[in-house]
Chain A
Amino acid sequence: MSYPDRISSATPASLAKLFDVADPPLRAWRPEELASIYRHQMSAPVRFDLATLDAAITPKLKALAEAEGLVLRSFQDLLQHPNPPVELLQLTKEFAKRNRSHPDSALPQPVATVLYFASIAAALVRCGRRISNLEDSALLEGFEWTQTQKWVDEPTRRLMQEGTESLHFEERRSGGPTRPIG
């Protein structure tokens, strides 16, 4: 029997398991587990984690992380640095995005989501750059959601607050919601 025929005769409940392969059901993480994983991720070496995106960028990562005397060892260093390299923030955003949708990701989805928004907020606040194509409303919603997560640490909450203020400031300056520029 061909696949269409076999799939036609299978029950929907059994076929749901095929969707599970592509998108495993979310595990219900406890806040203290998420807090612990988030802390661990924040202290993880930027260079090693981001190199999982593409091994070919390893030398570039090293150069970026050490540029101009910066010592960016961890994600925490990167996100809290007053003048972080925007390329590293872009790579962090991509890393978070991939981990969030990857079937075998070691990062729980909420943690990847916070990292995703933290990289966008850091680029907005510290570099004055927008690294996301999302509309203001979606960014504001994400920043706000992050601040409501009890397991998120104080520096990240502050960053999200600053990101929110930065968007509101841009909105007032331009007379309306700002649109993504690339």
Chain B
Amino acid sequence: MNGREGTPQRFFPATRWSLVLRAGKGQPEDRTAALEQLLLQYMPALKAHLVQKGTDPERAEDLLQGFISSKVLERQLVARADAQRGKFRTFLLTALNNYVRSEIRREKTGRRSPARLLDIQEHPDEAFPADGPSEAFDVEWGRQILARALRDMQAECKAGGRDDLWIIFESRIVQPILDEVEPLPYETLVQKLGLESPTQAGNLLITAKRMFARILRGIMSEYAEEEVEQELQELRQIFSRAHA
């Protein structure tokens, strides 16, 4: 609960953690596809996290490949995720941090042996900061979610013959935000789409916003079983205060 005067957020549970569940405990074929989708979605955020912690991008890539191969695939990390015990992204981030720390330890130990003496300067002072919130991870994760929501919405509008909704949403919301341009005036949209009035255009924009909200929540519910609303608010706050 967010304090006495706030509104309790966590009383409105969504009901699925489907992608994570499928990737961890689904039927073999479905599990592979779900795992692939999950990794595709999280990789940029995990890499951003490592780079923000001071790892150079190339090494971050190597560490991630190692993490995926030895933890996610061989040891079936995702199957151990438990929705009751917290957010999946926290679970994943903690597992990655542990893996990286153990890799650094292992490499340092290895470098002490005569056989590795020549590598001693490769990562001389590398250390990995303690666990904690990772702004880079959260921001990159949020970017992935938003990109997917926009793609899915555009596809859904097209498939449903509702290009009008997409055009209005894109020209009033998306372009002003992403391209820093002025929203297209309603009068222009009325002409462009053959509408009756600016009011009708305004109503279509409300419908489009609802559609975007539904799609975004749907995507988030694949990764956060009980905390969709809270996740949404957290991401909004993180983005509001994050540095460019």
Q: Which residues of A contact B (CB under 8 A)?
A: 3-4, 6-8, 10-23, 25-26, 97, 100-104, 109-110, 113, 116-117, 133-134, 138, 141-142, 145, 148
Is A7 within 8 A of B146, CB to CB? yes
* Closest chain B CB from A116 CB (angstroms): 7
> Of B12, B143, B151, which contacts A101 at CB under 8 A?
B12
* Closest chain A CB from B65 CB (angstroms): 21
B20 within 8 A of A: no
**A22-B212, A23-B229 known; A15 and B11 CB under 8 Å?**
no
Q: Which stretch from B49-57, B100-108, B187-195, B234-242 is at the chain A interface? A: B234-242
Knowing that A17-B177, A19-B239, A104-B210 are A-B contacts, what are 7 other residue pairs whose CB atoms are under 8 Å apart, sorted by A's residue number?
A6-B178, A12-B139, A12-B240, A18-B146, A113-B7, A113-B11, A142-B8
B26 within 8 A of A: no
* Closest chain A CB from B32 CB (angstroms): 24
B75 within 8 A of A: no
Q: Which residues of B contact A (CB under 8 A)?
A: 1, 4, 7-8, 10-13, 139, 142-144, 146-147, 150-151, 173-174, 177-180, 206, 209-210, 212-213, 216-217, 229, 232-233, 235-236, 238-240, 242-244
**Interchain residue pairs A-B with the least CB separation, the first 4:** A12-B242, A16-B239, A19-B236, A22-B213
> Of B174, B179, B236, which contacts A16 at CB under 8 A?
B236
**A3-B151, A21-B209, A145-B4 known; A12 and B146 CB under 8 Å?**
no
